Structure 1
Amino acid sequence: MASDYHEIYANWKLGPESFWAEAAHGVDWFTQYDRVFEPGVGVYGHWFPGGTCNTCYNAVDRHVEAGRADQIALIYDSAISGTVQKFTYAQLKDEVTALAAVLRRIGVRKGDRVVIYMPMIAEAVFAMLACARLGAIHSVVFGGFAARELATRIDDAQPKAIISASCGLEPNRTIAYKPLLDGAIDLARHKPSHCIVVQREQLSCDLIDDRDIDYAKAVAQEKAARTDIECVPVASTDPLYILYTSGTTGQPKGVVRDNGGHMVRLKWSMQNEFGIKPGEVFWAASDVGWVVGHSYIVYAPLVHGCTTVLFEGKPVGTPDAGTFWRVIAEHGVVGLFTAPTAFRAIRGQDPAGDHIRKYDISTLRALFLAGERADPQTIKWAEKQLGVPVIDNWWQTETGAPITHNPLGLGALPIKYGSPGVPMPGYEIRILDDAGHETPPGTLGNVVLKLPLPPGCLQTFWRADSRFRQAYLDEFPGYYKTSDAGLVDGDGYVFIMARTDDIINVAGHRLSTGAMEEVLAEHPDVAECAVIGVADAMKGQIPLGFVVLSAAASRDAAVIENEVMQMVRDRIGAVAALKTVVTIKRLPKTRSGKILRGTMQKIADDEEWKLPATVDDPAVFDEIAETLRARGIGI
């Protein structure tokens, strides 16, 4: 089918306010907003000021009232515990209302903050929606974060209550959350009045009198009393949540998301970008602690009236590289959204796609990738194995929804490998040099977004407007700095090559580590890779490559290393100066799948480094240091 994208995008540019006013019809308002956009308030303006609404009402109650009460709203699938639970919209409303009653009983009101420190269980979704129901502001902190990292977020958000669980489950271990939670509260200056704790059967915990509340008992009491909690009207511009950016050290940066603009943007994206209809099953294989989990596990699918999947497991190892296909087959998933690193891991374990053939995944219409740069080889492998479009998209915690996409709902555009698509309505992308001058098409530079940002983007940092301006707005006046480096080609396709910190300067030449990674990934024996810049006395910086070999690779690692270095020389040229590639067992990643290149660089340069709070397994850094030491690099 022909795509309507260019017409829709042009309509937005001609009349941004009328465009978003039309999109706002997709959500229910308690009172109509005064105007679509007010530029003179906040850091750069507010969307839909004067309107009142409630995100929980839009995600739950209105579907019950509109006849979807018996439709499955949430599927909780734990590949680790072997548990599957399904909740209809009516059951979801009962669970959320009862928890909201518990929160209200302990004094939580509109505008109060509640920290949610939870594993991937259904109660995490209930907790987010219960806060939204009361007009309270939730701040989800990834379950298992170290006590000190959790404490900094407690001090910044100053929550009235914390909702947590006794433990989290990993493929080969159980993580006790309660000691981490208690330790964080001991460290924090701010002391929450109550903690509501889900007791999981795999590992229970002791509760502290006068502070801790047993989740199941308290919720059961409110259900038995049939306590009804109506959705509290909040201003469109009131905060829905605070989400602290991953990898934060020192004073955390709390991204503030509003209610009204957030719903409008997410609702529009489900149909127009992802091509998903109300009633269909959508699965974002992320974590509720990250922005993808907020947007596309919880809020976007439920506001749109879909069935959403909450998955507790890993793409490999729970129990094997076929777990994704099992979930799709069992639950009838039509759209899967995950990180490229997940597919690189699956491809590394199952290069021939044998596990895929064990399941009927005929319901799947598309695979969506975001979170890390999706290399062409991974996309081509997924296309071949799945037989569906593989759509890369690019966005940030700060934007809350894709900046660029290939919008299936508007009619797919031709795919350009290595590009996460074209700008979505609301985004006018420019590429600037370091002096703020616009660059010619196809030239690498700083990717910036023309202000104002569209609905759904962050309003500011929590209680830190000046810090927000300094971080994003001051360097390029009139634009939002993404801190990504990339280019736009002559057809308007965006290519995100690396974070600006990952653009390395080799003897005066600005080179993209992402472009080198793209070449390394093309080698048939390479499952995953990363390229970093390390210090060099002669050239300033030189690239250092890391490769993880496929399970099917049988040749000597040194031979493969030489081959990939020659590939870079042939494709990019001698200027790339990639003369060292190191084979390692695995790459260090955050729990959301991002490769921790910055820490790898510090290790390679023999600099002091701090263990990132978000790392999935800290032992990986010792493995890398040992390998580099054996090769005489940096240490």
Structure 2
Amino acid sequence: MKNAPQPSAYAAAHAASLADPAAFWAAQARQLTWFDEPQEILSQDENGFYRWFKGGMLNTCYLALDHHVETGRGQQVALLYDSPVTQTKRRYTYEQLLELTARFAGGLRDLGVGKGDRVIIYMPNVPEAVVAMLACARLGAVHSVVFGGFAPHELAIRIDHAQPKVIVSASGGIEIDKIIPYKPLLDEAIALATHKPDYTVVLQRSFVQADMQSGRDLDYQELLTAKPQACVPVHATDPLYILYTSGTTGKPKGVVRDNGGHAVALKYSMSAIYGLAPGETMFTGSDIGWAVGHSYIVYGPLLHGCTTILFEGKPVRTPDAGTFWRIAAEYGASVLFTAPTAIRAIKKEDPEGNWAKQYDLSRLRYLFLAGERCDPATYEWAAHTLGVPVIDHWWQTESGWPMLATLVGLTEMPPARAGSAGHPVPGYDVQILDEAGHEVPAGTTGLVAVRLPLPPGCLPTLWQDDERFRKSYLTTFPGYYLSGDGGFRDAEGYLFIMGRVDDVMNVAGHRLSTGEMEELLAAHPAVAECAVLGIADELRGQRPIGLVVLKDGQSIAEDALEQELVQVIRSQIGAVACFRQVLVVKRLPKTRSGKILRKTMRQLADGDQFTVPSTIDDPLILDEIRAGLERRGIGVAFEKNEAM
């Protein structure tokens, strides 16, 4: 009898993770150094929520810094800082980063910050922000990073919700060609907030000086003179940080990340998903204010003993569309991770990919993309330009690490495929369900859900709001986490995430995906990026319109482009789509993390009342969209004006 064929390393790992989650993750937990070993690998708390590594004691900062110094990695570079906006470059070894972090933790300790206290970090992408995050972890304090430059009202909401003892900030940041003073925004936010922090700690930057309030405001450098603080042991189930989800308005939704599950999951992901070995370099072109920045600028690379690159700037205009390629080449990055919107911005300014040809990218092995779906046109452009595999993968703030991916660290993994986010990562039992909670056939679009328990690293709950956690994620389909995204699985098992559920249109009873239409529009040679909106229609319920941004150097007339794109949709999807209108715009409104604000634009066109999202990168873009829609008479809000 012949031996049965052996499953691939990926298939075996994924099957094992679902068959016996506790055994699978116990093995991964042994990769870490614990102060006390976990007593229960997987358990449920009094609310019925799943918890990982109960009884285990550890410290995330110890694992990220002290452990590497103790095991001989102290002279390796831990953090590379590259800031074209301030023309600054710095490098920090593990020993140097540990010294700064221990002293800053001592400074926070002297201000009364202890285990469980909250600290808000309101800073740009600078090394001092990373030090502040790690210092909080060292103390067992809970940090909440808020993107530097957030509006005072939104910052005040987060202050009242997290109730920080201390806020760490900077005097200002730079957005390409303008200086943004942070301190006046912070002062206004504190004035608006009911909760008042005991202290604010301000990093004075050379290009803008902050006015300091006596008795409350302290200089960042003062805290570095404190006696170094040792690591404080915390429970695996204790919170490491709170991260407020993008688009939050009204009552904040604070995603909680625990210490134990977070460390185990990120350590595993660095080798299994990204294929990185300790000592190699990772460049994540994101911001520390987002989940990607937390996981793969700060914690993931440092937990794994890698060198991480902290970039202060933009993918274009700081100073050019070759900035990402320059950084990857200069520092020898093995993996580059960014958002599809960054690649589209580069593609818009450099359609032929000429900038990439100027740099030696021979050490770059993979480009990973996440944040929103990567359309095949962008995927193919990036693969052709860089000459390396492009991996589109899918995850959320709530998960904290990837749910779908092509795991390049596991052998015989099915190769990446344009348009797909890959296959479920070990630990995730991803299903496509209909509205009744039943699995749908291959090729059928449905709701993306994950069977419980979620693996380590995912949110155990929301900050001080267990009931909202339950209602938001767990009640629609009992036994499942509801992602809020729609997608489908093809006949070969590849999963395709087509966007948020509210980005599915109902056109005369036909459910149509805006993502599918965007994929077709983006393939046009003149289009740099696009968005399709399902706007209100009296006859059909909804109908789609397209907003497109042209590549630099393109001069095609709007009417001619509209005709060509309408024909593309008609030929590929059919007349049932009722796609008839295209508006050319200079830019699309996005969050600071790169997500296109489709819902906001749809509300604008429909004439609905809406709140401008706090995470929008430039509110003035909405005025430009409004003017364009009105000019063309597109949308309920403007068709009446045209008829008058």
TM value normalised by structure 1 = 0.98
Report SS of the residue matched to 2:202: strand
- Equivalent in 69, 93, 98 of residue 64 of structure 1: 69
* Counterpart residue number, 2:3: none
CA displacement at 1:520 relative to structure 2 = 0.6
CA offset digits 1:568-602 (Å, max 9, x no partner) = 11111111111111111111111111101111111
Where does structure 1 differ by over 4 angstroms across 4 or more consecutive aligned residues?
40-43
Residue 26 of structure 1 deviates from its aligned partner by: 1.6
For 1:441, what is the secondary structure of its paired residue? Answer: coil
What is the CA deviation profile of residues 520-553 of structure 1, one whole-angstrom value per residue up to 9, with x for unaligned ones? 1111111000001100000000011111011132
Contact 2:347–2:528 under 8 Å retained in 1? yes
- Contact 2:266–2:295, Cα closer than 8 Å, also in 1: yes
Q: 2:380 is aligned with what amino acid?
A: K
Work out the CA distance in 1 between the residues paired with 2:553 and 2:562: 16
1:89 aligns with 2:94: yes
Are 1:560 and 2:561 counterparts?
yes
Query: 1:472 maps to which residue?
Result: 473
Q: Note if 1:4 corresponds to 2:5.
A: no
Corresponding position of 1:599: 600
Q: Kindly provide the amino acid, as one letter, of the partner of residue 366 in structure 1.
A: Y
Determine whether 1:122 maps to 2:127: yes
Look up the SS of the partner of 2:470 in the other structure: helix
- Could you tell me whether the CA contact under 8 Å between 1:95 and 1:126 is conserved in 2? yes
Say whether the 8 Å CA contact 1:44–1:451 is kept in structure 2. no
The CA distance in 1 between the partners of 2:611 and 2:39, in whole Å, is 48
Aligned partner of 2:510 in structure 1 is 509
Take 1:620 and 1:43, find their aligned partners in 2: how far apart are those partners? 44
Match of 1:522 in 2: 523
Q: State the SS of the aligned residue for 1:385.
A: helix
1:407 has 2:407 as partner: yes
Aligned to 2:254: 254
Which segments of 5 or more consecutive residues in structure 1 lack a partner in the other structure? none
3-state SS of 2:409 partner: helix
Counterpart contact for 2:132–2:168, Cα < 8 Å: yes
Q: CA deviation at 1:43?
A: 4.5
Shift of residue 36, structure 1, vs aligned partner? 0.8
Deviation (angstroms), 1:430: 1.3
Aligned-residue identity in percent: 57
The CA distance in 2 between the partners of 1:140 and 1:237, in whole Å, is: 20
Q: Which residue of 1 aligns with 2:453?
A: 452
Question: Aligned AA for 2:305?
Answer: G
Letter in 1 for 2:306: C
8 Å contact 2:165–2:198 — kept in the other structure? yes
1:146-165 superposed matches below 5 A? 146-165=151-170
**1:67-108 Cα deviation digits (max 9, x unpaired):** 011000001110111101100000000110111011000000
Q: Provide Cα deviations, 1:48-83, integer angstroms capped at 9, x if missing partner.
A: 000000000000000000101100000111011110
Structure 2: gaps (5+ residues): 1-6, 639-644
Question: Contact 2:167 / 2:197 at 8 angstroms: preserved in 1?
Answer: yes
What secondary structure sits across from 1:169 in the alignment? strand
Secondary structure, aligned partner of 1:26 = coil
Report the equivalent of 1:619.
620
Secondary structure, aligned partner of 2:418:
coil
Give the CA deviation at 1:216.
Answer: 1.3
Partner of 1:543: 544
Q: Secondary structure at the match of 1:67?
A: coil
Q: Is the 8 A contact 1:197 1:215 kept in 2?
A: yes
Do 2:64 and 2:305's aligned partners in 1 also have CA atoms closer than 8 Å? yes
User: Could you tell me which residue of structure 1 aligns to residue 4 of structure 2?
Assistant: none
Whole-Å Cα distance in 1 between the matches of residues 97 and 11 of structure 2? 39
User: In 2, Cα distance between the equivalents of 1:621 and 1:599?
Assistant: 9
Write out per-residue CA displacement over residues 308-367 of structure 1, whole angstroms, 9 at most, x where no aligned residue: 011001111111101111111111111000000000110111010111111111111100
Partner of 1:192: 197
The answer for the alignment partner of 1:486 in structure 2 is 487
Q: Distance in 2 between matches of 1:4 and 1:530?
A: 38
Q: Structure 1 CA distance, aligned partners of 2:396 and 2:39?
A: 29
State the distance in 2 between where 1:516 and 1:26 align.
45
With over 3 angstroms needed to count, the CA separation of the structure-2 counterparts of 1:279 and 1:136, relative to structure 1, is same
Aligned to 2:590: 589
Contact 2:106/2:223 (8 A) holds in 1: no
CA contact (8 A) 1:255 1:461 kept: yes
Contact 1:43 1:465 in 2 (8 A): no
Q: Is the 8 A contact 1:164 1:196 kept in 2?
A: yes
Three-state SS of the structure 1 residue aligned to 2:321 is coil
**Residues 42, 459 of structure 1: 8 Å contact kept:** no
Mark the CA change 1:43 to 1:624 in structure 2 (over 3 Å): closer, same or farther. Answer: farther
Give 1:350's aligned residue: 350
Q: How many residues align?
A: 629
Partners of 1:3 and 1:392 lie apart in 2 by: 21
Q: 2: CA distance between counterparts of 1:623 and 1:188?
A: 32
Give the distance between the partners of 1:503 and 1:554, measured in 2 at CA: 31
Residue type of the partner of 2:230? E
- For residue 379 of structure 2, what is the aligned residue in structure 1? 379
Whole-angstrom distance in 1 between the partners of 2:309 and 2:445: 38
Please name the residue that 1:288 is paired with. Answer: 288
SS in 2 for 1:413: coil
List aligned pairs for 1:197-216, cutoff 5 A.
197-216=202-221
